[in-house]
Structure 1
Amino acid sequence: MLRKTLLILFSTFSFCAQAQNFFDWQYHDRYFSVYTGTGWTGYVGDLTHDKPFTKGLSHFNIGVEARLYSKIAARAQYAYYIIEGSDKNAADSSFYRQRNLSFESRNHEWSVQLVYYFFDYSGKYYKRRTYEPYFALGIGQTFYNPEAKLTNVEGETNSYALRDLNTETKSYGNSAWMVPVSFGVKLVVNEFLNLGVDLGYRFTFTGHLDDVYGYYADPNGDGSAYPDETIESKLSNRKFEESVYIINQEAFDQLVPGKKRGNGKNDHYFMANINIELYLPKDIFRSKKGRGRKGKIIGKPGAY
């Protein structure tokens, strides 16, 4: 997958480089930039229960961007992120608390996006505004693998890939298309560096980021569950665990093979980013004298 991601980033970079020669731009100081960052990830799905954020810093991203026109840029980005959720965060004695499901998933994504800046580009990256707000929209793909922890009678806790267990009988894949939408602002640090703050939401086309989507597993089609004491049985239906055993009798009676397990809706996730961006203008490898910069840089005396 890493090879595929790098190929996408390289192809986007090459396309943007060719586009610079193709379009008759009036802005002579066109540029590329690279950026990297980290931040906090949240998830919206069956197991959110008003606590969407993953604990601590939970994602890492890298990307490249090319300015295409006065207010338009294109970017390609790769990110690794963690999401989690648990019915233990639901209200006591609720249907969801009785259901007692949980997950954690270490995922990654790639995306390509068009970026719209609210202010015009000045034509020289080193004379850019001290702040640049923007909106981004694109398309991408996320790869996910929800897992759940289970403690055995010996007190050992292990993680299990829920996809492999067919917890809802029907199998599902390990990837889904998604639409990334972002709002952000870039703040000048110095001539070559920006500090970026970005909030991005991912609309996915899957309900299985958390493994919970449809109905309790009915492998034989006759209302019978997986054999008792198997991992499949214990993780597909967790209402029997000691910590929640019959805290809601009405809900307990509904949690049986063939009955509703999830809400049947797509899951989504979001990222709050802090990025460092480095500009790569076309003249970055020329001598200082060859660049011939004059005047002020961001309101200060020129560096050259």
Structure 2
Amino acid sequence: MNKHKQLVMSVAAVCLLMGQVTESSGQRRPNTNFVPYSSVTFGGGTSTYFGNLAGYRTGLKSLFTLPRWNLGLGYTRQFTPHFAARAMFTWARITGDDYTYTKNNVEEYLFLYARNLHFRNDLKEFAVTGIYNFKEDGRNPNARAKFTPYLFGGIALLAHSPEARTPVTTEPGSQQWVKLQPLHTEGQGQPGFAKPYSLVTISIPFGVGARYKLNDSFNIGAEIGFRYSFTDYLDDVGDGTYADKATQQGVATVMTDRRLEEFAARTKNAPERYSILRSLYDNGTAEQKANIADALNSSVRSIKGILNLKDSYLLTQFTIQYIIPYKIKCPPIK
């Protein structure tokens, strides 16, 4: 009986020793028996719009003129030491304003200053992206890399609805934000015009980021991602013309063509915008007068240049990631 007990204890000791050796070997070879893990990400940062009211050709000016905010919540699954997939919902506000964009250089951006359009748009984005980590993780979440730069790219479903403020009047508090798509500001739905644009579209997110391991449970990170959308109407301005006011009713009659408004509607306490334009016309050269007249009489709402691209937006985010604990099942001791 004693010999039997000694045999059992010897076998148990050998098993424990082999387990320790295997674990040590696994730590030396992080790719062996990789344990997939999951994390939850919360992030926030800035949002910047590019389109007809903030041109691609003046990228730095567009990037810093009217940044706004974004918030995001996501779930990531790390499948291998290098590759992960993420599903993330982001709420981002973007905005654009001809007056703000051009007020410091009216002559250079004369058409935009005269056009006097603006918008804001709250984007609801659900994105699925793949992530490639440049530095591989260890065999389990606790052994993940201390610092990891990464690339990401994928596809997103985007819901949006551009809005603008009604014209400035002498009545305090009379201005309101109204949705633009139902107003058909480029005559959408009328005979000879395009159909109304959709408020749901696709965008392509891609970018770079980096994460840093704080401890076994948390990472912090930062990333910058560009989103190219499949619509030209995040700003309500496509390649169409001004709608015929005779076909419009209600608030639509004052929201389509904003060129003759005295003040810039989005900017509070704005100077007399149209008076500045008139002064430039009265004191300008013959060429300047002709350009101003063309801008005020043009039937086209947008300028199409070499970069005839759809609307897009850039998101920067600072993130915190919570690593969901994983369970290791041990065999029962009898």
Q: Give the alignment's TM-score, normalised by structure 2.
A: 0.70
Give the distance between the partners of 2:239 and 2:246, measured in 1 at CA: 17
Structure 1 stretch displaced more, 178-187 or 45-54: 45-54
Shift of 1:226: 4.0
| Equivalent of residue 176 in structure 2, options 158, 161, 167 | 158
Secondary structure class of the residue paired with 1:164:
helix
Sort the Cα spacing of 1:191 and 1:152 in 2 relative to 1 into closer, same or farther, 3 A: same
Give the distance between the partners of 2:325 and 2:156, measured in 1 at CA: 27
1:202 alignment partner in structure 2: 227
Shift of 1:236: 1.2
| Equivalent of residue 261 in structure 1, options 302, 308, 311 | 302
Shift of 1:169: 1.1
User: Is the counterpart of residue 58 in structure 1 residue 69 in structure 2?
Assistant: yes
Shift of 1:53: 5.0
- The answer as to whether partners of 2:243 and 2:256 remain within 8 angstroms in 1 is no
Sort the Cα spacing of 1:252 and 1:163 in 2 relative to 1 into closer, same or farther, 3 A: farther
Sort the Cα spacing of 1:254 and 1:228 in 2 relative to 1 into closer, same or farther, 3 A: farther
User: Is the counterpart of residue 139 in structure 1 residue 159 in structure 2?
Assistant: no
Q: Deviations over 1:267-288 (max 9, x none)?
A: 100111011101114218x8xx
Secondary structure class of the residue paired with 1:78:
strand
Structure 1 residue identity aligned to 2:228: F
* Superposition map of 1:172-187 within 5 A: 172-187=197-212
Give the gaps of 5 or more residues in structure 1. Answer: 1-24, 220-224, 292-304
Shift of 1:173: 1.0
1:125 alignment partner in structure 2: 141
Structure 2 residue identity aligned to 1:62: L
Q: Give the alignment's TM-score, normalised by structure 1.
A: 0.77
Secondary structure class of the residue paired with 1:181:
strand
| Equivalent of residue 258 in structure 2, options 227, 234, 238 | 238
User: Is the counterpart of residue 47 in structure 1 residue 53 in structure 2?
Assistant: yes
Shift of 1:218: 3.4
- The answer as to whether partners of 1:54 and 1:83 remain within 8 angstroms in 2 is no
Secondary structure class of the residue paired with 1:52:
helix
Shift of 1:255: 4.3
Secondary structure class of the residue paired with 2:114:
helix
Aligned-residue identity in percent: 25
Shift of 1:121: 1.9
Give the distance between the partners of 1:179 and 1:37, measured in 2 at CA: 19
Give the distance between the partners of 2:51 and 2:67, measured in 1 at CA: 20
Structure 1 residue identity aligned to 2:273: V
Give the distance between the partners of 1:277 and 1:70, measured in 2 at CA: 17
Higher helix share: 2
Give the distance between the partners of 1:145 and 1:218, measured in 2 at CA: 19
2:96 alignment partner in structure 1: 85
Structure 1 residue identity aligned to 2:40: V
1:278 alignment partner in structure 2: 322
Secondary structure class of the residue paired with 1:48:
coil
Q: Deviations over 1:86-119 (max 9, x none)?
A: 0012131411111111111112100101101111
Shift of 1:153: 4.4
Sort the Cα spacing of 1:236 and 1:251 in 2 relative to 1 into closer, same or farther, 3 A: farther
Shift of 1:229: 9.1
* Length, aligned pairs only: 258
Structure 2 residue identity aligned to 1:58: W
- Larger gyration radius, structure 1 or structure 2: 2
Q: Deviations over 1:27-52 (max 9, x none)?
A: 34221111111111111111126243
User: Is the counterpart of residue 100 in structure 1 residue 116 in structure 2?
Assistant: yes
2:83 alignment partner in structure 1: 72
Secondary structure class of the residue paired with 1:98:
helix
Sort the Cα spacing of 1:278 and 1:207 in 2 relative to 1 into closer, same or farther, 3 A: same
Shift of 1:154: 2.3
RMSD: 2.5
Shift of 1:254: 3.9
Higher strand share: 1
Sort the Cα spacing of 1:153 and 1:172 in 2 relative to 1 into closer, same or farther, 3 A: farther
Q: Deviations over 1:247-294 (max 9, x none)?
A: 45534434457434353631100111011101114218x8xxx69xxx
Secondary structure class of the residue paired with 1:60:
strand
Q: Deviations over 1:150-208 (max 9, x none)?
A: 23442411111111111111221111101100200001111110001011110111110
Sort the Cα spacing of 1:143 and 1:228 in 2 relative to 1 into closer, same or farther, 3 A: closer
Sort the Cα spacing of 1:176 and 1:251 in 2 relative to 1 into closer, same or farther, 3 A: farther
Structure 1 residue identity aligned to 2:258: R
Shift of 1:232: 1.7
